Structures are given as structure tokens and as C-alpha cells.
């Protein structure tokens, strides 16, 4: 299996405050990994380090070709193009339609050919089951639909890694299940998915790796022990 | 199918852009009016300076031919704008009119000398230059005395300087206020877009790519504002001309072209740069601080 993320002996700080130490983490193609832990234990900080929001000051870290220790401010945008990021509050551009949201990402990441862009947009919207809603504004969609748009957006540039920070935190149980199925099928298509969550009930559905943040460290657990 | 909230959001965005444009135009309008005042103050000061007179009293026994020659000589000097000869008789007539009675009746003769009334080029109206010019003229043959009022000239000079300085200081202050006001208005607009900027960063857009449309919109906003302010200025000018026809000349086209270009340029520069700073602020801001 090809390794996509590799963190060794890393220490993660939120400004000067130590959040996690001795972090070791490896994600391979096809992995679907839950990241759990109480609020304030460093789940979001770990994800932020992975998408370049927090600098990695100690230890080693690599995502694809990017060395997180040597990551410069200007490279952050390019790192993020290799990732798909999905948030609890969707982070859609609220001032434009779904199509324009997707178009913005394509244009921002260097796509030029109009036809290719349209095809790509239709492909990802089809994948999340929103093929006919591209003309709508974000606020005209339900929470679950908005989250699916965010996932479609994350898929635009064929990323190897999807980072999801409590993507179901604002959704009802049925919708949560839909989103989980979607993310799981994405991991099966040859990407790694790392998902921070509180939702232990739905975790049982897929047997996958579980990582717990607790007392400044990151512990790898099995699904059953985590849920128990 | 455009639903109501969609329309509402669009209308709200339009209103905010509209009020920004109006805010900027009003500030540019004030700047424009002040510039016109300053330009007219210059005109007024020139007018006052041009009216400064140096009187050259001539020897009583000078012949007409000599006087004409002296007048011609003086006219060719670099500081002379206009020289007029006023003969003894004319002086007497003028004084008679001023006094309202005929002083010749009890004097029996005309004691007034002939004189050349000289007005100066504006460049030479400084009190120091005038005193040098007066000394030079006095040493000429046929000149009895050169008279001017140094105190009056000095007073005019200092008053004009004071007014000019006050206007300049005021316009400097106004420019600062203008920049601060425009900057504030734009920062509020960008502030409302901070989450959009943040989302753009998260999907891998570079800072330059995010900035560009904002700055273009900012410059365009400055341009719209300057159009509005120019219309307002023109309105005021027409109104003033109606009331005070001599206040300024409409055929001074170059001045107006310069003034309106200045207003448009200021609008675009201030609006563009403010937008740049406002957007960069949020581009560099820590994610936890934008909430």
C-alpha cells in the first residue's frame, strides 16, 4: 500500500501552547480512519497541521511530496490542492451558486479549459448525487446537501487525502449516514480519509482504524475498544 | 427559480456596495471643492498682487520727449507689467476730484509733479524685490522720488501666505480624513467577506488569485465614486456661477480636466489600496481570530 501521510515523533503547538506530543501517524491509500477524542484534545490541531494552518515545528511530517517541516507560507495553497478538506460548517462561498463555487476552485487551481471544467464539475456533483442542483445558492440547499457540495468540491482535484473535521456535526442521523457512506466509498476509490468525529454510534457501521487524542498524545485503537 | 432569500441576499450586497460608493463620492466631492477653492485663492492672490503699484515721481523740469523715453525704458525692464504716464494736469484733475474742491484757486499754481504709474509682474511683487526695484528706479536721471507702501505690501503678502497655508493645512487634513473614511468603509465591506476569503484559502487558492477580483472591484468602485463626485462638483459650480458670475471661468478647460483627473485618480488609488490592505489583513489572519 502506498503511504500518503507520514508523521513521526511530531509535537503540535497551538501558538505557544503544547497540544499533542510524540505523534506518530501513517495513512495509506484506501484507509478510512476515525479521529476521536474529547473537545480540546487536539483533533482539530492535528488536522490543521496536516493542511498547513499550523506549522509543524518538531518531528517529521510528510504529505505526498510535501515536507511539513519545510513548508513555506506560499506553498500552503499548493499543499491544499493535493488535499480535500471538509468542515462541520461547510465553508462554501455563500455569495455564489454551487456551480460557481466549484468553478472558483478549478480556476484557482489552474484549470483553463471551459469544457473540461464543466465536465469535471458535473462528474463530482454526480458523484455526490447533486447533478441537477448546480444552479442553486448554498443557502437554498439543506445542510446535508451543502455538506455533499463541500465533499464534491474536495474531490475536484482528485486528492489523495480527504481531511474531514466533524463533517456530520451539524447534520441529523439519516443525513449523517449518507455522508459517512459517501466518505467511505471515496476511501474505497483509492484515497485516504481522515475524519474527526464525536459520532460513536455511526462509527460502528464501518470497521476501520480509530485514533484517539487524549492527554496530549495520540493513541491507535480498534473500533470496538473505542466505542465500548 | 429565484427564491426570496436569494433576491434578499443580492439586494443586501448591492445596498452595501452602493453605500460604499456614495461614501467615497462624498469625500471626493469635498476634496474637489477644496481644490477649486485653493486654485481660486491663487487667482485672488494674483489679482491682489497685480494691483500693487509703484509711483515714480518725475523732476518738474522734464520734457515730454524725455518722459516718453524714460517710460519706454522702464517698460522694457523685466519686472514691469504696465507703465502709464500721468501728467501734472491729470494729477491735478484727479486730486481735484478726490478732494471735491479746486486747490489751484488758492495756490495759483500746480505743485503736483508728473508721474509714471508702474504695475509689476507677479514674480517681482515680494516686498524685498520692490525695495530693490525702487532703489534702482530712483537712481535714474529725471526721477525725483519713487513711492510705494512697503507696509501695505508686506501685509498683503503675509495675509495671502496665511490664507494659503491655512487652506493647504485644511486640505491636508481633509485628505487624511478622506483616506481614513474610505479605508474604514472598505474595511467594513471586506470584513463582511472574511469567511469567503477564508474558504477560498482553504480550497487552495493563492493569495494573489483571491486578491485580484477584490482589488479590481475596489478600483472600479473608486471610479464610479469619482464620476458621482464630479457630477456633484459640476452641479455646485453651475449653481455658484448662477449666483456669482465672476467667481471662475468655465473656459478654463485644462484646469477642469486636471481637477477631474485628479479626483478620479485619487478615488481609484485610495479605494484600490484600501481594498488591498483590507483583503491582505484577512489573508494573513489566523483562522481562530476571524470569528
Question: For B118-139, what is each residue's pLDDT tens digit?
Answer: 888 888 888 888 888 888 888 8
Q: What pLDDT is recorded for position B51?
A: 78
Cβ within 8 Å, pair B203-A108: yes
Confidence band for B30, pLDDT divided at 50, 70 and 90 = confident
Q: CATH says B53-147 is which class?
A: alpha beta
Cβ within 8 Å, pair A91-B204: no
Pair B248, B237: CB distance under 8 Å: yes
Cβ within 8 Å, pair B203-A153: yes
How confident is the model over A200-228, as a mean pLDDT? Answer: 76
CATH 3.30.70.3040 region(s) of chain B? 53-147
Confidence check: pLDDT of B53 > 90:
no
Q: Quick one: closest CA in A to B283, which residue? A: A73
Residues of B in contact with A108 (CB under 8 A): 200, 203-206, 209-210
**Closest CA of chain A from B193, distance in Å:** 9
Q: What pLDDT is recorded for position B2?
A: 43
Question: For A1-36, what is each residue's pLDDT tens digit?
Answer: 689 999 999 999 988 889 999 999 999 998 899 999
Confidence band for A177, pLDDT divided at 50, 70 and 90 = confident
Cell triple for A116 = 473540461
pTM of the predicted model, to two decimals? Answer: 0.72
Grid cell 500500500 in the structure block, residue: A1
Confidence check: pLDDT of B290 > 60:
yes
**Which residues of A touch chain B, with CB atoms under 8 Å apart?**
48, 51, 53, 74, 77-81, 83, 85, 87, 91-95, 104-105, 107-109, 137, 139-140, 153, 157
Question: For B168-227, what is each residue's pLDDT tens digit?
Answer: 888 888 888 878 888 888 888 888 888 889 889 998 899 999 999 999 999 999 999 999
How confident is the model over B267-287, as a mean pLDDT? Answer: 89
Confidence band for B4, pLDDT divided at 50, 70 and 90 = low
Q: What pLDDT is recorded for position B14?
A: 67
Amino acid at each position: 500500500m502506498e503511504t500518503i501521510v507520514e508523521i513521526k515523533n511530531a509535537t503540535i503547538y497551538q501558538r505557544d501552547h503544547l497540544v499533542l506530543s510524540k505523534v506518530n501517524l501513517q495513512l495509506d491509500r484506501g484507509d478510512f480512519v476515525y479521529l476521536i477524542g474529547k473537545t480540546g484534545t487536539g483533533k482539530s490541531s492535528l488536522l490543521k497541521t496536516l493542511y498547513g494552518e499550523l506549522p509543524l515545528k518538531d518531528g517529521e511530517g510528510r504529505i505526498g511530496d510535501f515536507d511539513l517541516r519545510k513548508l513555506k507560507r506560499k506553498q500552503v495553497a499548493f499543499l491544499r490542492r493535493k488535499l480535500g478538506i471538509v468542515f462541520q460548517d461547510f465553508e462554501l462561498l455563500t455569495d455564489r451558486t454551487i456551480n460557481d463555487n466549484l468553478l472558483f476552485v478549478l480556476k484557482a487551481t489552474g484549470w483553463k479549459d471551459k469544457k473540461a471544467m464543466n465536465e469535471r464539475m458535473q462528474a463530482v456533483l454526480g458523484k455526490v448525487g447533486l447533478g441537477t442542483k448546480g444552479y442553486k445558492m448554498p443557502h437554498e440547499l439543506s445542510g446535508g446537501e451543502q455538506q455533499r457540495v463541500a465533499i464534491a468540491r474536495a474531490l475536484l482535484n482528485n486528492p489523495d487525502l480527504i481531511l474531514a473535521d466533524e463533517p456530520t456535526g451539524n447534520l441529523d442521523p439519516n443525513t449523517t449516514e449518507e455522508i459517512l457512506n459517501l466518505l467511505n466509498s471515496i476511501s474505497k476509490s483509492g484515497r485516504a480519509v481522515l475524519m474527526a468525529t464525536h459520532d460513536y454510534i455511526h462509527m460502528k457501521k464501518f470497521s476501520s482504524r480509530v485514533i484517539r487524542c487524549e492527554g496530549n498524545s495520540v493513541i491507535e485503537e480498534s473500533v470496538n475498544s473505542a466505542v465500548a | 427559480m429565484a427564491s426570496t432569500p436569494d433576491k434578499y441576499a443580492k439586494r443586501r450586497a448591492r445596498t452595501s456596495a452602493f453605500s460604499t460608493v456614495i461614501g467615497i463620492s462624498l469625500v471626493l466631492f469635498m476634496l474637489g471643492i477644496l481644490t477649486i477653492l485653493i486654485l481660486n485663492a491663487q487667482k485672488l492672490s494674483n489679482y491682489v498682487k497685480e494691483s500693487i503699484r509703484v509711483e515714480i515721481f518725475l523732476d518738474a523740469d522734464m520734457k515730454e520727449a524725455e518722459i516718453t523715453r524714460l517710460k519706454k525704458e522702464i517698460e522694457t525692464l523685466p519686472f514691469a507689467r504696465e507703465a502709464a504716464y500721468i501728467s501734472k494736469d491729470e494729477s491735478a484733475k484727479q486730486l481735484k476730484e478726490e478732494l471735491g474742491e479746486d486747490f489751484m484757486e488758492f495756490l495759483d499754481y500746480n505743485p503736483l509733479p508728473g508721474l509714471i504709474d508702474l504695475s509689476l509682474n507677479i514674480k517681482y511683487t515680494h516686498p524685498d524685490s520692490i525695495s530693490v526695484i525702487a532703489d534702482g528706479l530712483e537712481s535714474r536721471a529725471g526721477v525725483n522720488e519713487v513711492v510705494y507702501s512697503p507696509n501695505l505690501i508686506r501685509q498683503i503678502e503675509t495675509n495671502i501666505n496665511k490664507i494659503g497655508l491655512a487652506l493647504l493645512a485644511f486640505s491636508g487634513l481633509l485628505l487624511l480624513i478622506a483616506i481614513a473614511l474610505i479605508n474604514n468603509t472598505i474595511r467594513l465591506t471586506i470584513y463582511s467577506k472574511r469567511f469567503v476569503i477564508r474558504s477560498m484559502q482553504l480550497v487552495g487558492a493563492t493569495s494573489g488569485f483571491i486578491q485580484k477580483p477584490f482589488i479590481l472591484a475596489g478600483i472600479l468602485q473608486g471610479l464610479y465614486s469619482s464620476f458621482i463626485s464630479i457630477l456633484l462638483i459640476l452641479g455646485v459650480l453651475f449653481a455658484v456661477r448662477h449666483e456669482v458670475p465672476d467667481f471662475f471661468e468655465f473656459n478654463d478647460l485644462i484646469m477642469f480636466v486636471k481637477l477631474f483627473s485628479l479626483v478620479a485618480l485619487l478615488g481609484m488609488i485610495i479605494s484600490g489600496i484600501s481594498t488591498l490592505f483590507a483583503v491582505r489583513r484577512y489573508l494573513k489572519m489566523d483562522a481562530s481570530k476571524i470569528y
